[in-house]
Structure 1
């Protein structure tokens, strides 16, 4: 969420920077320079250290101990203090490092050996692709309704902020899966209505549906990334999240297709992504709910995240073939029934 807000800030600052520079070559060079500064984080690990959770999950106990000690010293805590909490951490790290375990890395191909995790990742990648790819259709429908040049640009940036604020207010309160389901439903409904009534709907209705579609599609793509970070296990969380984000960038790559053969290319792209949005709506129902649960550490932990019904027993996982009625009674005595 925070990264999305920084992205919006850059979007809003870009027109002012372009007006100040007035040379696209210099502007491109400034962008490349700022991106090159990010390499400093790679060259100086103290500025951006590795995750201790990932190091412990991959049996790199020595590196994890060094980073945790660095965190303790930076926080003003003496890592050699033998209080109860610190001594338990020291004891646990000593037990983990017993026998000098070798680092154990997991390849993203390991997802193919899982039963549930690969499906969850595939669904989230698919929803991210649809959320990013369908935005070109809403932009094209919005353009005739907003004749000024800069207004659609700033309107889309404002809608991105609104989508992130909406997720901040609802994702923890209502859960990830219901909010993703609502966003996918709104995206598909707005797309189908624009597709069916493009020649019959009044201008204000077209504008409202385009704004709704842009808002919902941005919420879907952002929540898919957040959901992926909670569904993939620690050992391959970075790779899994990268795959989901890559699917979103693949959807963005379809933007120029609406210019092929004029109106026909736009209509074909709109039909395809509207159909994919309806399919994504059905696939989201298969996802588990990650709210209130600990992050999975291993592939086995991630496979234990099963889907749960939207209503009733929301915090209990269920096997895919177990009916919600039976699972809601699971764990109750006959007297309680």
Structure 2
């Protein structure tokens, strides 16, 4: 029973993470999506740094689980108070839910301090779109297979995200013999922070594809060297390759997910 409950808890966490990720992307304009995503990544890393301290305070894993659950329960307030987390106006417009889109955009305009003239032009544009009373149109994920390019990009980026996330655990195992337990955890979190900072500085300047290929190559080289030469290398070199591999693989995972969110259309994102 406990195992099933923990599996459901993990599935709910994954769903909440993905929902917040997509909502965050669709709430901001495309030029600022990368910066917003990286800032959210730094908040995630800050949470990982605070987690050991919270574990020390709670001492028992049941108390820690309850504390984390209580914090996550605050998200439930968004259900009863929609003003805390508005529905994505991009999704509402893409699915032709124009009345809800109008209310959401007006709320966003009021909260951002836009004038009545801007709101009037916005309402006029939505009224033009609403001529003929179009019915909401929903889409399924399977529709991407009817395209020629989008589904191929989705498969490639999904595979790279899977590989980057999976191989990172292999690099993490190499940290344990060379660092104390808590130091290895800090090294892991520090590598994730470096990966976020690296993407902030390079992905916007050199493009998503080039940076993704570079990080993939670094991940592959580090993995091959550790696989073939671990027993012949100095401990410092093994540790360095492991940290480089963790950093590159985390960058691959983050950039693959972000790249996929930009490639996929709003209705199936």
TM-score class, shorter: 0.7 to 0.9
Classify the secondary structure of the residue corresponding to 1:46: helix
- The aligned residue for residue 51 of structure 1 is 88
Classify the secondary structure of the residue corresponding to 1:115: coil
Find 1:137's aligned residue among 153, 160, 170. 170
Please list the CA deviations of residues 72-96 of structure 1 after superposition, one character each: whole Å capped at 9, or x if unmatched. Answer: 2223334xx3x4x544423321110
Please list the CA deviations of residues 85-117 of structure 1 after superposition, one character each: whole Å capped at 9, or x if unmatched. Answer: 544423321110001100011111111211111
Classify the secondary structure of the residue corresponding to 2:82: coil
Contact kept? 2:215, 2:252, Cα under 8 Å: yes
State TM-score, norm by structure 1. 0.67
How many residues matched? 232
Contact kept? 2:109, 2:119, Cα under 8 Å: no
Find 1:122's aligned residue among 155, 166, 170. 155
Pairwise CA distance, 1:57: 1.0
- The aligned residue for residue 208 of structure 1 is 240
Which of structures 1 and 2 has the bigger CA Rg? 1
2:197 is equivalent to residue 165 of structure 1: yes
- The aligned residue for residue 174 of structure 1 is 206
- The aligned residue for residue 113 of structure 1 is 146
2:68 is equivalent to residue 12 of structure 1: no
- The aligned residue for residue 125 of structure 2 is 92
- Where structure 1 has 5 or more consecutive residues not aligned to the other structure, the ranges are 238-337
CA RMSD of aligned residues (A): 1.3
Q: What pairs up with 1:1-337 in 2 under 5 angstroms?
A: 1-78=38-115, 81=116, 83=117, 85-146=118-179, 148-237=180-269
Pairwise CA distance, 1:225: 1.4
Q: Give distance in 1, aligned partners of 2:73 and 2:144.
A: 32
Q: Give distance in 1, aligned partners of 2:268 and 2:170.
A: 34
Deviates more, 1:34-43 or 1:59-68: 34-43
Q: Give distance in 1, aligned partners of 2:72 and 2:166.
A: 25
Moved segments of 4+, more than 4 Å: none
Please list the CA deviations of residues 145-195 of structure 1 after superposition, one character each: whole Å capped at 9, or x if unmatched. Answer: 22x120000111011111000000000000000000000000000000000
- The aligned residue for residue 266 of structure 1 is none
Contact kept? 2:106, 2:119, Cα under 8 Å: no
Q: Give distance in 1, aligned partners of 2:208 and 2:114.
A: 36
State TM-score, norm by structure 2. 0.83
Deviates more, 1:35-44 or 1:109-118: 35-44
Q: Give distance in 1, aligned partners of 2:142 and 2:220.
A: 32
Q: Report 1 or 2 for greater relative contact order, CA contacts < 8 Å, sequence distance ≥ 6.
A: 2
Classify the secondary structure of the residue corresponding to 2:41: helix
More helix by share: 2
Please list the CA deviations of residues 42-83 of structure 1 after superposition, one character each: whole Å capped at 9, or x if unmatched. Answer: 3321110111111111111110101111122223334xx3x4
